[in-house]
Structure 1
């Protein structure tokens, strides 16, 4: 309600001074309407469209799929967002309504075309030249110049055209009657998942408060400093225990994940959605840059070698990933073991060899096989099914080979005589 009232003070396409009164109004609207908890709760379900409409999105005539939006949809002004009928968004969409200069800013309406599909981690500006019935692949750069793109797929940065739909994925489309019955089943399953989501967070908060209070009460009388230290140590340990066990319990069929190819209305996909939603992934950052994160990955099912330096790696399907020895993962690197295009869900193993370096912001998609001694440059996108030979250096979106060091073996650096004597 507050963002809706404040929005009346800002006019679209009007220039306002930076850091002035209208800028404060703009930032307040953005902060209040981007609620991470509500997105996690309603995302990947039929109820996310009602929440987005409530905060200000214009969703036209919704074609309900049960997976219209993922959990991480962000914006700058929800009242200037229009999304066409029949469009699906995977996850990580950031809608950019504002343009800034060094002295002023301007808000503009942003429209996403109808009957389109948007992959993961897409930044969608108001100046977009993408129309209806388009597929935007993950991490694609939305074109803002040239002719209007319609009835096509777009991949890469800068983008180039690809087929709008793969023939194999068309086989996963269902008739209207079957789709409605399976959608009702999916909605029932998603409601149970949302209840589980709320219960797990309530349990974690309550148990944290109770145990922390008990620890503090037991030590405060004779050693307040000991109580403070134990309380600080308890929180990360309890966080890891609770969410590691949770992930193990909600894994489909209580086993390691296996490659899948099915419709989003298949029973397996509903279970996989629960696997995504029930887990709280933000606690990983507590261990970034420490050897303890390697232990956490092993607990979550990753086949991992020795001496991995992980400064901010994210993995969506942990038990589908295999990583060799002496690898390096920089900040904001991602390993995604699945894809969800136009109602077809696909997942596969990802294999990374030894002494591999993943640059900051690099992304490895499902089915990729990376050999030993490979370097993936920052913000590169390794496509699904790519096989990278040992010793290569790949860069770009999509990533291609830019240097060939095949046959090169990079030994682990040995200490120099001066360092050894010191």
Structure 2
């Protein structure tokens, strides 16, 4: 599909080729949930080609609108979008509206074998390892569910009445969820131990292992148990077991943690719906891990992202959809909003 094309509602179900309009250059990094879909307005779906050059970095939840053309070496930050006008090669954009940043952090001496030029054995290792790690959550769920159904639920159906069977069914489901989450917990501590700040190449054994733990966490513990605990006093307890330092009386409506040990949340803080305490970023094929300290009584708004190496002072408030840049420190008793976060204007009395 080339150029602009409009598709009527009657044709939508028969057409699923919008991915043919996406062109990604060599050695790019495309993070989670990058948006480059069609535009639907007033009953019409409009598609345009989306293209990136070589070694382009697209951060998590960045937005590439239809027709975007990103030159070589550019970086579009997390939850950011490119400018309406053309970009120059190597340009860095962050936020919405997108700000142009003059420089970005570089890791000197990063080995090419673990970044852009991995040897063949590292490629094969990653392929085999991720084949198992990506399928492990599904395999664990199917295996445990099959055993539970065959050896617990089926005999109960045959020998128990409706009331006792209902209790057995609930108890079995709860036990399965706890067992799967406990397995992920054990894998985290046996595989990674305690997370610490540092820089590791994308193709390194460390990065490979932590990505596998994250996949297992999201696909098993998060999906089956922890998401159901959001907003309850039990979620902070569960995340403490994974290594996060969570204070008393904390309201957690998000399970979006990865390097658990690098997160500290003060007493009576509120982490609202799907807020993201992001303790790592990939830049130039290097995984950069840092700490996040959320003070006492802090409120982090829904869908807000806090990047690593940040400290949020006591009783500070972050509005929804805000982004706290890495390395920032927000003073206590202040209010912030926007991407990147800026002090909220104080309303003046008339």
| Structures share fold, TM-score greater than 0.5 | yes
CA contact (8 A) 1:248 1:254 kept: no
1:110 paired with 2:101, answer: no
1:194 paired with 2:137, answer: no
- Distance in structure 1 (CA, Å) of the matches to 2:24 and 2:206: 29
TM-superposed deviation, 1:164: 5.6
TM-score by length of 1: 0.73
Quick one: which of 256, 259, 284 aligns to 2:194? 256
Structure 2 stretches lacking a partner, 5+ long: none
TM-superposed deviation, 1:332: 2.0
Quick one: which of 287, 300, 306 aligns to 2:229? 287
Aligned to 2:67: 127
Query: Quick one: structure 1 residues 380 and 296, their matched pair in 2 at CA, closer, same or farther if it must change by over 3 Å?
Result: same
Q: How does 1:77-96 map to 2 (within 5 A)?
A: 77-96=18-37
Aligned to 1:232: 170
- Distance in structure 1 (CA, Å) of the matches to 2:250 and 2:200: 33
Give the RMSD, CA atoms, in angstroms: 2.7
TM-score by length of 2: 0.87
Aligned to 1:160: 99
- Distance in structure 2 (CA, Å) of the matches to 1:325 and 1:303: 10
Cα-to-partner distance string for 1:269-306 (whole Å, 9 max, x where unaligned) = 23222222333233332222222222221222211112
In the comparison of the two structures, how many residue pairs are matched? Answer: 341
Which consecutive segments of 4 or more residues in structure 1 shift more than 6 A?
Answer: 175-178
- Distance in structure 2 (CA, Å) of the matches to 1:157 and 1:240: 41
- Distance in structure 2 (CA, Å) of the matches to 1:201 and 1:15: 38
CA contact (8 A) 1:251 1:272 kept: no
Q: How does 1:369-384 map to 2 (within 5 A)?
A: 369-384=311-326
- Larger mean CA deviation between 391-400 and 217-226 belongs to 217-226
Aligned to 1:15: 6
- Distance in structure 2 (CA, Å) of the matches to 1:214 and 1:231: 12
CA contact (8 A) 1:252 1:272 kept: no
CA contact (8 A) 1:129 1:149 kept: no
Quick one: which of 245, 252, 255 aligns to 1:310? 252
Query: Quick one: structure 1 residues 189 and 133, their matched pair in 2 at CA, closer, same or farther if it must change by over 3 Å?
Result: closer
TM-superposed deviation, 1:23: 1.8
Q: How does 1:9-88 map to 2 (within 5 A)?
A: 13-17=4-8, 20-26=9-15, 29=16, 77-88=18-29
Aligned to 2:87: 148
CA contact (8 A) 1:131 1:149 kept: yes
